[in-house]
Amino acid sequence: MVKVLTACGNGMGSSMVIKMKVENALRQLNVPNVESASCSVGEAKGIARNYDIVIVSNHLIKEMEGCTNGKLIGLDNLMDDNEIKAKLEQALK
């Protein structure tokens, strides 16, 4: 199982949008058994160690450094499906 956490500044809209895009990208990459969650960066700092992949906007990446033992992905464009898919594919190698 791959556990993915998406986080944004407030844990509302952006993290949920990223979560849906991540789930779609993982389906396209034929990754079975995915567990995903979304929250604020503040919340993510406390739970990130429980996830294999943590995804945030690049401007929040420094706040998450050292909070996870998994892969930390920073996105330039939260709406870019191709960027999300490419970065997930790289993280899963």
In the chain, the amino acid numbered 69 is: N
Q: Is 39 assigned a catalytic role?
A: no
- For residue 58, give both structure tokens: 């690049």
Is residue 58 within 8 Å of residue 74, measured between CB atoms?
yes
Residues 54, 44: Cα–Cα separation, whole Å: 9
Choose the catalytic residue: 5, 7, 8, 64. Answer: 8
Q: Which residues are catalytic?
A: 8
